[in-house]
Each structure stands twice: as structure tokens, then as C-alpha cells.
Amino acid sequence: MKVQERTGAGNHRVPSPAQSAGERLPTVARERKPALAALAVLLILVGALGATVLVLRAGNRVEVVKLTENVEAGEAIKNSDVTTVMVADDDSIDYIKADQLSLVEKTLTAKSALYAGSLLVGQMFTGDKGTPAGKAVVGLSLKDGQYPTGIKAGDTVTIYRVGDRNGSSSSSSSSSSGSQSGSSNSSGTSGGGVIVERATISHAAKPNDSTISSGNLAVTVLVDNADAAALSQAASAGEAAVVTVPSHNG
């Protein structure tokens, strides 16, 4: 009887957890952090907004004026001196825009020498049409053959002394002036002597505006002070002729 009781008692042992097939181990509950999640979302939105602003700014471009030729101080820019390029718009920069070019050509002159490749801004120009320091303005009355067709304000010219071979007084004057400039021809009449190496046409009347009685073309040139006296003397004798040359050497 005792053996049976012991055997029966052994049949009623409590199974260990490892032996329980249907049971699961308890899991640790996850701690939720809503503040951290909100911060991550906020950072994503800020990054997306910044990228959008950069894209929009890159697309906000304007057409502005860029120099293709050098321009001297006191000169007006010409349409042939410039081109247009697209740049990012910036309210802090006073760009001269493409639609402002015609107004600048008519009313403004360069404050100082400007160089090819520069983007033009308003601060480079002045509306003061006064004579620049060290310069003089001289008026010429040119006959046919003493100026090229199409001469206009802003052109750069070389001014030569030419003589009247048919007039003794003119020949004498030309010979005297030619000896001063170091250039004379064998007949005693100067020819080809340079009075002004480089001058700027500040005004040129249109051919149909020339004086009917004289048929001459009125031209005003801007020259160095040192050249003003010789040019005025030649101009008064009608012995000055202008030839257009490139705006800049080299």
C-alpha cells in the first residue's frame, strides 16, 4: 500500500513553467515618447521648407546688363558695348536691368573707367553731364570727307590735321601748324598729322540737322586739356578731320 501511495503521490507533481507548452513569457511594456516624435517631425518639415525656399530663390532670376567692352570715365555706354545675362534677383543690389538700358544710354555717363565683364549697377553712373576733370570740350564744323558716315555720340576717334591745297593762306597755316606737330608734306601743306590720338564724340548732329548754308556737320568732342589748344586752332581753320577707331587699345 505504501508503494502505491508513493507512486500516486508522484503523479500529482506540479509541472514547471518550462514544461508548460501553452504559456508565454511576460513582455516589458514599451515607454512612449510623444515629444521626441514631434521633434523629429518638426525637423523634417523645417528641412523641407528650407529646400523649397532655395529652389524658389534659384528660380527668381532677372535679366541685367553686362559690359562686353571697356568704357572710359565720362563716356556714355552704347548698346554695342553690352549684353544681357540672367542673375538671381537681389533687392540689395541696384542692377541695371535690360529694360533700363535705353534710359541709361541717354541720360547717364560712367563715373570712372569700367571694364568688360562687369555687371552694371546704378552706382557706376552719374547724371552729371559736366566736363570731367582734365578734359576739355571742343566744337568742330566738319565738311564732307572730314568725317565718316554714321558718326555718333560715344564714338572714339582720332583727329588729324588736313590742309587745303588750293588756298595759299590755308597752306601757310597748315605748314606752320604741321611744323609744330612734326608732320608736313613736300608741297608745304600738312597732311595726316595727328592732333588728338584719342577723343570721344560727345555730340554729333544728324546729317539732316546740319546747317544748310554751310553744309557742315557740327560735332563736339571731349579731349585732354593738353590737346585742346591745337585742336581749336585746326578747327577754326577748318583743318580738322576725324576718323573712328576702336574704343580701346588691345
Tell the burial category of 231 from Cβ atoms under 10 Å away from its Cβ (0-12, 13-18, 19+): buried
Q: For residue range 45-57, what is the model confidence (pLDDT) as tens digits?
A: 888 887 776 665 6
pLDDT of 4 > 60? The answer is no
Q: How far apart are CA 232 and CA 76, in angstroms?
A: 24
| Averaged pLDDT of the chain | 74
pLDDT of 155 > 60? The answer is yes
SS3 139: strand
Domain boundaries, the chain: 61-126, 135-244
Q: How many Cβ atoms sit within 10 Å of the Cβ of residue 69? A: 16
Q: For residue range 48-103, what is the model confidence (pLDDT) as tens digits?
A: 887 776 665 656 888 999 999 988 777 788 888 899 999 888 888 888 888 888 87
Least confident of 16-25, 147-156, 195-204: 16-25
pLDDT of residue 243: 93
> What class has domain 61-126?
alpha beta
Q: How far apart are CA 174 and CA 185, in angstroms?
A: 10
What is the Cβ-side half-sphere exposure of residue 168, based on CA atoms within 13 angstroms?
0
Q: Which residue has the higher pLDDT, 197 or 53?
A: 197
